[in-house]
């Protein structure tokens, strides 16, 4: 990975998939010191979440802005510059060469850019319908190679893809993996899920966890269990 491996606790990223800043703040309060890293996506970002991102950064938390940017290079660059000013640690962009190049050039010293290769909701038929000739596996591999050549810091990938992607890109890129379900928890709408320990063993550096923590009766206990499982994986 890109720098020395972080503490187990810093490898858990909690997805703040909530409809208001108030609801997010209440969860963050309950989680306290158990969680150091939060992800803000479309839902919360468009309800005041970007201001919250900046406050979290001021309070010493790390923030992953999951807005999956994709536009002409100049527009991407200007957006990335302002997200860097929020104090965010990670930002996602779609893995198109122009978009990735613009994001890497504009990111500054502390923001890291993650590329999304192929959305996990896409299968072969969806790619064909969108006009692509490559299948999912070939497309993920091609885009991972392009991301690495451009100097992207990391990739978002499912637990199933993690081992293959890791073998393609080597140790230098951070792999960030959603679709995590501790043994016995609800799968929800995720189709390809992995336990924290298996995702870590497959090569993930960071785990993104939403509902297993956000919807838990005791979110802090759920987070602590996942941190313990990451620690126990010993990798």
Count of residues in the chain: 235
Among 49, 179, 196, 219, binds ligand C5P (CB under 6 A): 179
Instruction: Compute the least distance from the CB of residue 118 to ligand C5P, in Å.
Output: 9
Beta bridge pairs of residue 176: 156, 206
Tell whether residue 210 is a contact of ligand C5P (CB under 6 A).
yes
Number of alpha carbons in the 13 Å side-chain half-sphere of residue 94: 12
Tell whether residue 209 is a contact of ligand C5P (CB under 6 A).
yes
Specify the residue, 77 or 200, whose C-beta has the smaller distance to ligand C5P.
200
Among 12, 14, 15, 18, binds ligand C5P (CB under 6 A): 15
Residues annotated catalytic, as ranges: 68
Report which of 150, 166, 164 is spatially closest to residue 96, judged by C-alpha positions.
150
Tell whether residue 17 is a contact of ligand C5P (CB under 6 A).
yes
- Are the beta carbons of 154 and 106 closer than 8 angstroms? no
Beta bridge pairs of residue 147: none
Beta bridge pairs of residue 156: 116, 176
Tell whether residue 178 is a contact of ligand C5P (CB under 6 A).
yes
Among 8, 117, 120, 195, binds ligand C5P (CB under 6 A): 120
What's the distance, CA 149 to chain centroid? 20
Contact residues: ligand C5P, CB under 6 A = 15, 17, 41, 120, 156, 178-179, 188, 190, 208-212
């Amino acid at each position: 990975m890109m720098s020395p491996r972080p503490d187990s606790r810093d490898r858990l990223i909690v997805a703040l998939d909530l409809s208001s800043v108030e609801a997010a703040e209440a969860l963050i309060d309950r989680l306290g010191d158990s969680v150091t890293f939060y992800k803000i996506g479309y839902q919360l970002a468009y309800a005041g979440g970007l201001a919250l991102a900046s406050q979290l950064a001021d309070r010493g938390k790390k923030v992953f802005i999951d807005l999956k940017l994709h536009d002409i290079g100049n527009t991407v660059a200007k957006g990335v510059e302002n997200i860097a000013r929020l104090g965010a640690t990670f930002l996602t962009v779609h893995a198109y060469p122009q978009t990735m190049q613009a994001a890497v050039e504009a990111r500054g010293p502390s923001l890291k850019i993650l590329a999304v290769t192929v959305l996990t909701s896409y299968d072969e038929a969806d790619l064909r319908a969108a006009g692509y000739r490559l299948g999912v596996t070939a497309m993920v591999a091609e885009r991972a190679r392009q991301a690495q050549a451009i100097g992207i810091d990391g990739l978002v990938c499912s637990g199933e893809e993690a081992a293959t992607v890791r073998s393609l890109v080597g140790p230098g890129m951070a792999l960030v993996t959603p679709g995590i379900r501790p043994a016995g928890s609800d799968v929800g709408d995720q189709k390809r899920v992995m336990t924290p320990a298996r995702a870590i063993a497959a090569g993930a550096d960071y785990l993104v966890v939403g509902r297993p923590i956000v919807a838990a009766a005791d979110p802090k206990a759920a987070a602590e269990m996942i941190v313990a499982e990451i620690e126990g994986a010993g990798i």
